[in-house]
Amino acid sequence: MTLRRVRESETLRSSPVETLNPLMDRRKFLKSAGVGLGVGAAGSLVPNPIFREASAAAVEAPKLAQYKTICTKCAVGCGLIGEVKDGVWVSQEPWFEHPINQGSLCAKGAAARSAVISDKRLRYPMKLSGGKWQRISWDQGMSEISAKLLELRKKYGPDALHINFSAHFSNEHGYGIRKWAGMWGTNNVDFQARI
Ligand code: SF4
DSSP state letters, 161-195: --EEE-TTS-HHHHHHHHHHHHHHT---EEEGGG-
Q: From atom 2 of ligand 1, which residue's Cα is the shortest distance away? A: 106
- Residue partners of 37: CB distance under 8 A and separation at least 6: none
Cross-strand pairs, 114: none
Q: Is 68 left (phi over 0), alpha (psi -120 to 50) or beta?
A: beta
Is 92 a pocket residue for ligand 1 (Cβ < 6 Å)?
no
Are the beta carbons of 81 and 66 closer than 8 angstroms?
A: yes
**What's residue 53's pLDDT?**
58
> Alpha-carbon torsion 62, 66, 72, 75, what sign?
positive
One digit per residue, the tens of pLDDT, for the chain of length 195 reads 666 676 655 544 444 444 344 454 445 545 554 544 444 444 444 455 555 555 555 667 778 999 999 988 777 889 999 999 999 899 999 999 999 999 999 998 998 888 788 888 889 999 999 999 999 999 999 999 999 999 999 999 999 999 988 777 778 888 999 999 999 999 999 887 776
Looking at the chain, the number of H-run helices and the number of E-run strands are 7, 7
Atom of ligand 1 nearest to the CA of 73: 1
71 CA distance to ligand 1 centroid (A)?
Answer: 6
How confident is the model at residue 22, as a pLDDT? 47
Kindly state if the Cβ of 109 falls inside 6 Å of ligand 1: yes
Does residue 158 line the site of ligand 1, with CB under 6 A? no
Cα–Cα distance measured from residue 85 to residue 113, given in angstroms and rounded to the nearest whole number: 14
Whole-model pTM: value is 0.53
The domains located in the chain, with CATH, are 14-59 (no CATH), 65-117 (2.20.25.90), 126-194 (3.40.50.740)
Torsion of CA 144, 150, 153, 155, to 10 degrees: -90
Query: Contact 161/150 with Cβ under 8 angstroms?
Result: no
Beta strands, E only, the chain: 65-70, 79-85, 88-94, 126-129, 132-135, 163-165, 189-191
Torsion angle in degrees (nearest 10) through CA of 19, 23, 28, 30: -40
